């Protein structure tokens, strides 16, 4: 059956790559995909995920559930300037393609919190939740049923920036900044947490040449889909940082769930700033060189050094498989 996982996503470009990696991996049993706001609205994100499932032609696709539309306490932000207006690099421009032209997303989807709770009760101690967007869906589940934290095996979080600059402000990473109050709640809920911050994800990336080579080996129409959606992020990176690379933020979170040995892990106590003017959403790790007994107890494991070659081999092997 493979490891049972749930993917929680906000429907952007690297989310799509992460979902492809998870859904095509024989080591996983994807029990559900829960959707949240983030890169785009939750409605657009859900349509993106349904389109992806159509392209993958899965025999037994997982259910999709609609989650939070906005953060717990602050106004919603988005990242269309990076991912495109639809979150997938303007994929609607490809509507003449046969695999897209007839696509119509269902109008009604189940509630994410209810589905999370139902699956956690059905598979107590077996489920790993991989979060690829803001942590609002998980925080709402914990608010509704605090004891549910005892049912999840582990949560793998793509989020935070510990010793590197943020990517939405100088201090904060996008997912945590989007809902710092939800992140604060999750970090202190007692769950077994693995954090995959920008410190780790910036160690794995694709440039244009590597992407072109990779997609030439992928089955169709997945190759066209991956090549097209990636262009908006590559263009954004070239325009803003002078280097056209696609950092595999969300795919790395899936990769370390497949094989935790891809990264070195360090137990840390991490707090989330929820009130700072310039530091809102900052993930502050206690890295003081003190004796262990003088430090606050760790509340998570953080990915540090990444075996990038090993991960990229895994990424390529799974995406280029001719059968799923």
Catalytic residues: 249
Question: Which two structure tokens, joined as six digits, stand for 221?
Answer: 């129409």
The pairing of strands 270-272 and 283-285 is: antiparallel
Q: In sequence order, which ranges of the chain are alpha helices (DSSP H)? A: 13-23, 42-56, 80-83, 98-101, 112-122, 136-144, 174-178, 180-187, 198-201, 208-216, 222-241, 249-258, 308-319
DSSP 8-state symbol, 117: H
What are the strands of the beta sheet with 3-9, ordered from one edge? 64-66, 28-35, 3-9, 127-131, 152-158, 193-196, 300-306, 263-268
- What one-character-per-residue DSSP string does 283-320 give? EEE------GGGSPPP-EEEEEEE-HHHHHHHHHHHHT
Rounded Cα–Cα distance for residues 300 and 186 (Å): 10
Would you list the DSSP string of 176-188? HHH-HHHHHHHHT
Tokens for 155, please give them: 């949560």
3 state DSSP class of 17: helix
Longest dimension (CA), the chain: 63
Residue showing tokens 């992020």: 233
Cβ atoms within 10 Å of 287's Cβ, excluding its own: 13
Q: Provide φ and ψ at 220, rounded to 5°.
A: -90, 145
Provide the phi-psi class of 125: left if phi over 0, else alpha when psi is between -120 and 50, else beta.
left
195 phi and psi, to 5 degrees? -100, 130
């Amino acid at each position: 059956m493979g490891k049972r996982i749930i993917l929680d996503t906000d429907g952007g470009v690297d989310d799509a790559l992460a979902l492809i990696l998870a859904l095509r991996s024989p080591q996983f049993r994807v029990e559900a995909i829960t959707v949240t706001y983030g890169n785009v609205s939750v409605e657009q994100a859900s349509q993106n995920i349904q389109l992806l499932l159509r392209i993958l032609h899965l025999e037994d696709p997982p259910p999709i559930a609609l989650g939070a539309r906005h953060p717990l306490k602050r106004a919603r932000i988005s990242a269309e300037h990076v991912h495109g207006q639809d979150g997938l690099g303007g994929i609607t421009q490809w509507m003449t393609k046969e695999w897209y032209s007839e696509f119509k997303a269902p109008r009604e989807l189940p509630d994410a919190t209810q589905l999370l709770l139902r699956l956690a009760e059905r598979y107590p101690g077996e489920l790993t939740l991989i979060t690829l967007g803001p942590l609002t869906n998980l925080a709402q589940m914990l608010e509704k049923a605090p004891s549910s934290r005892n049912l999840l095996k582990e949560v793998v979080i793509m989020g935070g920036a510990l010793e590197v600059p943020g990517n939405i402000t100088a201090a904060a990473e996008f997912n945590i900044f989007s809902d710092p109050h939800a992140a604060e709640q999750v970090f202190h809920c007692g769950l077994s947490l693995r954090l995959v911050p920008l410190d780790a994800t910036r160690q794995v990336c694709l440039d244009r040449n590597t992407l072109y080579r990779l997609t030439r080996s992928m089955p169709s129409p997945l190759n066209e889909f991956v090549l097209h959606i990636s262009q908006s992020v590559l263009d954004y990176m070239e325009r803003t940082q002078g280097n056209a690379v696609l950092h595999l933020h969300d795919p790395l979170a899936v990769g370390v769930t497949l094989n935790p040995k891809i990264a070195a892990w360090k137990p840390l106590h991490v707090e989330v700033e929820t009130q700072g003017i310039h530091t809102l959403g900052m993930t502050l790790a206690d890295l003081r060189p003190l004796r262990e007994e003088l430090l606050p107890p760790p509340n998570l494991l953080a990915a540090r050094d990444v075996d990038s070659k090993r991960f990229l081999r895994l990424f390529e092997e799974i995406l280029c498989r001719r059968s799923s």
